[in-house]
Amino acid sequence: MLCSWCCQLGVQDEETIKTAIEVTLNKWKTINIFINTATVFTLGYVEEVSSDDWPNIMNVNVRGYLMSKHIIPIFKKQNSGSIINLASAAGLVAHASFLPYATSKGAIIQMTRNLALDLGPFNIRVNSINPGAIETPTLYRTAAETCVTKAQFDENHGGKRIKRLGHPQEIANISDRSSFTVGANVVIDGGYTIV
C-alpha cells in the first residue's frame, strides 16, 4: 500500500526537522521517500541583492536541503530509500536578475550528485528534479511582483519548444519503476534548456 504524508516545517530549525521525522516514524513506522521542496525566490541583479537576501536564500534553498542528513540513518538501517531534491532549470541556464536563486539551485544540483555518490553503496537513491516554469499561483505572483504581464512571462519562461507552461502533475509523478535512476538531474522544462 502506497501512502503519503506531508509535513510543513522550518528547514532552518534542526530540532523541528528531527521532531517531524520522529512523528512520521511513529505514524507510519518507516520512511521510503524524502522530498525536499523548500524554496524561497529572490530576484535581483547583484548590486540590488541585499546583505540579508543572500544568506536567507542560501539557508533555505541549500542548507535546508542538507537537513536531509537526519533521514539518512533511517534509510541506511532499511538499506533503501530515495531522496528527491527540487532544484530548477534556473540552476542550469542563466537568467537576468536570477543570481541568488539560480546560484542556490545550481548548488542543489551538485549536492544531489555528491549525495548520490556517497549514499549509493547503501541502496539510497538521490536525484534532483529541475522544473522549468510551472503554472502555479506562486509563478504568477512572482511575475506580478516584478511588473511582468502574464503574456510576457509565458513568452519568456514557458516551454520554448512546446509553447506552454508546465503543470504541477507533470512534475509530481514518482514511481518505483525509476529504481535505476540515481544521481540524475531530471530536467522537466518543455525544452527550455535545449539551447
Tell me whether residue 138 is exposed, middle or buried, using C-beta atoms within 10 angstroms of its C-beta: 0 to 12, 13 to 18, 19 or more: exposed
Annotated catalytic residue, options 45, 101, 140, 192: 101
128: β partners:
85, 185
Is 140 marked active-site? no
* Beta carbons of 118 and 72 less than 8 angstroms apart: no
**Residues identified as active-site:** 101
